[in-house]
Chain A
Amino acid sequence: MSRIAARFASLRAQGRGALIPFLEAYDPDRATSMAILRGMPGAGADLIEIGMPFTDPMADGPIIQAAGKRALAAGATVAGTLGMVAEFRGEDAATPVILMGYLNPILSYGPERFCKDAGRAGVDGLIVVDLPPEEAQLLAPHAAANGLDIIRLVAPTTDDARLKLVLTGSSGFVYYVSITGITGTRSATGAELAANIPRLRRATDLPIAIGFGVRTPTQAAEAVRIADAAVVASALIDTLAGCLGKGDVAKRVLDQVRELADGVRQARVPA
């Protein structure tokens, strides 16, 4: 069983949902982002999503755009990001790590070489924002050969006919983009989620994570009541950006992860 499947199975047995916090590799520098990554499991992260910096993050709002810019200025590269995961794996063999990014740096690295090196570093899944199912053959065979799940985004605009196509070849979990919009801008209402998640649930057995607009412990709790996991990204980056130059960056981000984890752990998950 893959690390992602094992983690969701064990959470289901405990009757609770997952918290998936996000960090941008090398933001604001390698050492700080490495400290955040290393501290996340202890702070209550069930899975971890790591952003791979790109100059042109088209699906991201200003907060994550700024994170990418800081990271690139700090010398982030694809190889450097994989190196962080390998270092993390030296200490933690159980927490699944998902890389989220855009296609071009992967193409430039070479899709086959990238999947091989990512598998070897201990990456468990990939989210490639600008790689829709129509173009997935570029990466899918190499991901499969190296034990990497391809985690697809499903949006409110994805109709039932498309949903089938998107879910074919999806593995690990399904990432539900809760709003039509970019990251860190607005949040879906409970009613919107209640309308869309059951539709998705009927179409797949995979765990469902809700992302885009999950910011507070209350929202994270609400997400895992309806779905299986909550992804929190912009709210954490906001905190990081707000305390740059004031010291204790990793500690403040991890404190917030702890609060989010408390929210998730206190939420009741329907059987």
Chain B
Amino acid sequence: MTVSLAPQLGRNSLRTGPDEHGRFGGFGGRFVAETLMPLILEVEAAYRAARADPEFQPELDRYLKDYVGRPSPLWFAERLTRELGGAKVYFKRDELNHTGAHKINSCMGQILLARRMGKTRIIAETGAGQHGVATATVCALFGLPCTVYMGATDVERQKPNVFRMKLLGAEVRPVTSGAATLKDAMNEALRDWVANVHDTYYLIGTVAGPHPYPMMVRDFQSVIGEEARAQLHEAEGRLPDAVVAAIGGGSNAMGLFHPFLDDAAVRLIGVEAAGLGLDTHQHAASLSRGRPGVLHGNRTYLLQDADGQIEEAHSISAGLDYPGIGPEHSWLHDIGRVEYVAATDAEALAAFQLCTRTEGIIPALEPAHALAHVAKLAPGMDKDAILLMNLCGRGDKDIFTVAEHLGVTL
């Protein structure tokens, strides 16, 4: 099989979205208050100008290479493959990036954009704290003041990351409204932005929010899939049979999937957090159990009650604990291009231990959900089949949570 490394975008390409209204099919858009509209349009214009500037991408590439440590390696997980007894499993190792997750790919791109726009203050929301740490890191690098909104519940369960952000010079503001988790942190960041439109850039961590964020964050994260595609071509001379990634808001999955969208033979599988089970009310599976609605500036699948009130998500992983999902995923779900499945807290915990034991890699609980599905899928596939999974974050931040669930006192 031959592989084109730089696929041409044909008329029927799935990679051309969104349209000029920020729509992926019926999803996405710009559902924000009027105070923010001019700002959203300014971010979009600045992003388009940056893309058109021949100096922007080389500058970003230099930071990604020398500061973030890209390209991240592609690792053939040989012992894990033997243990599962089926398809060859490859990890795209974005957990080896500086700050330990894929989040910094987009932070680096966005901070360069914020600087071009002349913004002097950065705000962000964070759930598990990975995006907060990555944002605080690039702010330290460029000497910009940084305020991170984090649900009070998450501040409590992600103490190491809170301390990291503070060491990096960021102010962490605990959010007590609503259920005090990621969704409420995003509300509070939007409120801050409305009140500080003149000097502030809102650095969103996932492929959600109003247009252009879902497109922009996807573009910055697509480096994951582009590298993996080329690396796999070098290692195996062909495309993978299946590509698997975990989904909360969906940025690591979108970054991995996007360069493969037009390769019809490649199965793309997103793994949502099933929490205590899809048939309980304790999960974060917006596509499997939600329905379309509008939250945080875009139309997408949401966990909501019969009256359109947003429901709280639950996952053992704070990074997947979000009642929505990026609008491009909603579209890919509806057209059937990507399969969306779910893994429970217990399955993720088992996969977390499996990965640690067989590969010597402690994964974050987010990619442990992807691995839980790989563990179900691989045994049923041919031994020469190839499974590519995004190991999008490392698990140091999760050892306290895991210890607690395993009944160990640290």
The chain A residues found within 8 Å of chain B, CB to CB, are: 54-59, 61-62, 65, 72, 77-78, 102-109, 129-132, 134-135, 152-159, 162, 166, 177, 179-182, 185
- Binding site of A, secondary structure by majority: helix, strand, loop or mixed? loop
- Nearest-Cβ distance from residue B297 to partner chain A, whole angstroms: 7
Once A135-B31, A162-B37 are accepted as A-B contacts, the answer to whether A56 and B293 lie under 8 Å apart by CB is no
Tell me if A78 and B34 are in contact (CB < 8 A). no
Assess the B308–A158 pair: CB atoms within 8 A.
no
B310 at the interface (CB under 8 A from A): yes
Interface centre among A58, A102, A109, A158 (most CB of B within 10 A): A58
A150–B309 Cα gap in the complex (Å)? Answer: 23
The verdict on A131 contacting B31 (CB below 8 Å), with A104-B293, A104-B308 known, is yes
Flag if B33 contacts A59 (CB, 8 Å).
Answer: yes
CA of A131 to CA of B306 in the docked complex: distance in angstroms? 21
* A residues less than 8 Å from B309 (CB atoms): 54-55, 72, 104-105
A166 — nearest CB in chain B belongs to which residue?
B34
CB-CB under 8 A from A129, the residues of chain B are 33
A109 touches B191 (CB 8 A): no
**Quick check: A130 and B294 within 8 Å, CB to CB?**
yes
B35 touches A185 (CB 8 A): no
B342 contacts the other chain (CB 8 A): no
A203 to chain B, nearest CB (A): 14
Contact call B197/A108, Cβ cutoff below 8 A:
no
Q: Tell which of B178, B191, B196 touches A61, judged by Cβ atoms closer than 8 Å.
A: B191
Contact in complex: B294, A58 (CB < 8 Å)? no
8 A-B pairs with the lowest CB-CB distances in the bound complex, closest first: A108-B308, A105-B308, A181-B195, A155-B35, A153-B34, A55-B310, A104-B308, A59-B33
Tell me which residues across on chain B come within 8 A of A154, comparing CB atoms: 34
Complex CA–CA separation, A18 to B370 (angstroms): 58
Question: With A55-B178, A59-B33, A130-B297 known to touch, is A104 a contact of B304 (CB < 8 Å)?
Answer: yes
From B30, B38, B187, contact of A157 by CB (8 A): B38
**Do A107 and B308 contact each other (CB < 8 Å), given the known contacts A59-B194, A180-B195?**
yes
Whether A135 contacts B35 by the Cβ 8 Å rule is no
Interface string of B21-40 (1 = CB under 8 A from A): 10000000111111111110
Q: B35, A180: Cβ atoms under 8 Å?
A: yes
Can you pick out 27 interface pairs between chain A and chain B where the beta carbons lie within 8 Å of each other? Answer: A54-B309, A56-B184, A56-B187, A57-B187, A59-B191, A62-B177, A72-B309, A78-B307, A78-B308, A104-B304, A105-B309, A107-B292, A108-B306, A108-B307, A129-B33, A130-B31, A130-B33, A132-B31, A132-B37, A152-B34, A153-B33, A155-B34, A158-B37, A162-B38, A180-B197, A181-B35, A182-B191
Q: Which residues 195-219 of B have a CB within 8 angstroms of A?
A: 195-198
Chain A residues lying within 8 Å of B310, measured Cβ to Cβ, are 55-56, 104
CA distance A45 to B294 in the complex (A): 33
Closest to B310 in A: A55
Chain A nearest CB, measured from B143 CB (Å)? 26
B294 touches A104 (CB 8 A): yes
> In the complex, which residues of chain A have a beta carbon less than 8 angstroms from the beta carbon of B29?
134-135
Q: Is the CB of B294 within 8 A of A107?
A: yes
A190 to B297, CA, bound (A): 32
Residues of the A chain whose Cβ atoms lie less than 8 Å from the Cβ of B30: 132, 134-135
**B295 contacts which chain A residues (CB < 8 A)?**
56, 104
Contact assessment for B307 and A105 in the assembled complex, using a CB-CB cutoff below 8 Å = yes
Shortest distance from the beta carbon of B301 to any chain A beta carbon, whole Å: 12
Evaluate contact between A103 and B294: CB separation under 8 angstroms.
yes
Say if the beta carbon of B302 comes within 8 Å of chain A.
Answer: yes
Interface bracket on B: 35 or more
* Interfacial chain A residues near B32, Cβ < 8 Å: 58, 130, 132
Distance in angstroms between the alpha carbons of A33 and B61 in the assembled complex: 58
| A159 to B197 CA separation, bound complex (whole angstroms) | 14
Interchain CA distance A109-B302 in the complex, whole Å: 15
B130 to chain A, nearest CB (A): 23
If A55-B309, A78-B308, A157-B39 touch, whether A177 touches B34 (CB-CB below 8 Å) is yes
* Chain B nearest CB, measured from A111 CB (Å): 11
| Residues from chain B with Cβ under 8 Å of A102 in the complex | 294
B190 at interface (Cβ–Cβ under 8 A)? yes
Binary A-proximity of B291-317 (CB < 8 A = 1, otherwise 0): 011111100001010111110000000
Given contacts A54-B309, A56-B187, A130-B33, 20 further A-B contacts (CB under 8 A): A56-B295, A58-B32, A59-B191, A59-B194, A61-B191, A72-B309, A103-B31, A104-B295, A105-B308, A107-B292, A107-B308, A108-B306, A132-B32, A134-B21, A157-B36, A162-B37, A177-B34, A181-B195, A182-B191, A182-B194
With both chains docked as a complex, state the minimum distance between the C-beta of A85 and any C-beta of chain B, in angstroms.
Answer: 17
CA distance A258 to B178 in the complex (A): 33
In chain B, what residue has the closest Cβ to A108? B308
Query: Across the interface, which residues of A come within 8 angstroms of B297, CB to CB?
Result: 130
Closest to A59 in B: B33
Interface centre among B30, B36, B304, B307 (most CB of A within 10 A): B307
Chain A: minimal CB distance from B259 (Å): 30
Q: A106-B308, A157-B39 are in contact. Are A58 and B293 (CB under 8 A)?
A: no
In the bound complex, residues from chain B placing their C-beta under 8 Å from that of A72 are: 309
Whether the pair B197, A157 counts as a contact (CB closer than 8 A) is yes
| Interface residue B183 (Cβ < 8 Å from any Cβ of A) | yes
Query: Which B residues are CB-close (under 8 A) to A156?
Result: 35
In Å, the complex CA distance between A67 and B307 comes to 18
User: Smallest Cβ distance from A168 to chain B, in angstroms?
Assistant: 14
Contacts of B306 in A (CB 8 A): 108
Bound state CA distance, A108 and B36, in angstroms? 24
Q: A202 CA to B387 CA in the complex, in Å?
A: 63
Chain A CB within 10 Å, residue with most, of B29, B177, B196, B293: B177
